[in-house]
Amino acid sequence: MDHAPAPLALPGGAIPLLGLGTWQADGSDAERAVSTALQLGYRHVDTATGYGNEAQIGRALAQVGIDRDDVFVTTKLPPDHGDRARRTLLESLAALGTDHVDLWLIHWPPSGQASPHVWEELRRARDEGLARSIGVSNYSVAQIDELVAATGEAPAVNQIPWSPVDHDPALLAAHRERGVVVEGYSPLRRTDLSAPAIVAAARAHDATPAQVVLRWHVEHGVVVIPKSVRRERIEENLGALDLTLTPDEVAAIDALAG
């Protein structure tokens, strides 16, 4: 992976820019997908309590035999579990077979609100060593500011839907001004892979349109977690780290946001 980017720094340890998403991956499919991904070279796995697959992911982590500290593991707190946050995390850790996660996120703003009291629970768990870094998912910049105003600490990460049509330089800049890493989900489902700018870049680099979209995220410093349970697709997605887009190609894909 000659063009593989350096992981991004978080307070508790660096996050690889490309990871495996596991939403809708169930049972043996989830376990097999994570095992396959780790064997192929992924070192970042994203799950959530709400996905119901933490135990399968834990089995894959145990069986592949890679040092726990070499794999970045994320899980998420359901928004209605704020009153039992620590207990929920302990259950997640037991299912995952680990004594900590690398990143713990509030999955959605509880009742649509920033909920600084829940953020305080994540901070306590982090300080206890149960999570190395903490963050949020599906939060607005205003909600992030509310957490900062209440606690003095910004989330390390905000995981949000992201793709070329979602590209918003001002939104990225607002996160960076606050020291918040943007992590994008649903990168391919939200993208028209037949868009001329994507197809042209794929042809120029002997790559697939999906690889181009994932590399576009990387070029912008946006962490991306495509999901799949198919070995060929998991391997294809990892291949995004083997190409580099030109500034003109990046700009042409940026323009898809209109």
Residue 139 is predicted with a pLDDT of 98
Among 42, 51, 139, 185, the one annotated catalytic: 51
**pTM of this prediction?**
0.96
pLDDT in tens, 28-40: 789 999 999 999 9
Cβ-count burial of 150 within 10 angstroms (0-12 exposed, 13-18 middle, 19+ buried)? middle
- CA-wise closest residue to 159 among 106, 220, 208, 95: 106
Task: Report how far residue 58's alpha carbon sits from residue 26's, in angstroms, rounded to the nearest whole number.
Answer: 13
Residue 25 has pLDDT above 90, yes or no: no
Average pLDDT, the chain: 95
51 is catalytic: yes
pLDDT band at 241 (very low <50, low <70, confident <90, very high): very high
Residue 135 has pLDDT above 60, yes or no: yes
Residue 129: both structure tokens together: 């060593």
Is residue 205 a contact partner of residue 212, using CB atoms and an 8 Å limit? Answer: yes
Residue 114 is predicted with a pLDDT of 98
Q: What is the mean pLDDT of residues 67-72?
A: 94
Residue 232 has pLDDT above 80, yes or no: yes
Task: Report how far residue 96's alpha carbon sits from residue 42's, in angstroms, rounded to the nearest whole number.
Answer: 17
pLDDT in tens, 149-179: 999 999 999 999 999 999 999 999 999 999 9
Is residue 156 a contact partner of residue 134, using CB atoms and an 8 Å limit? Answer: yes
pLDDT band at 3 (very low <50, low <70, confident <90, very high): low
DSSP state of 44: E
Task: Report how far residue 14's alpha carbon sits from residue 21's, in angstroms, rounded to the nearest whole number.
Answer: 18
Cβ-count burial of 169 within 10 angstroms (0-12 exposed, 13-18 middle, 19+ buried)? exposed
pLDDT band at 65 (very low <50, low <70, confident <90, very high): confident
Residue 29 is predicted with a pLDDT of 87
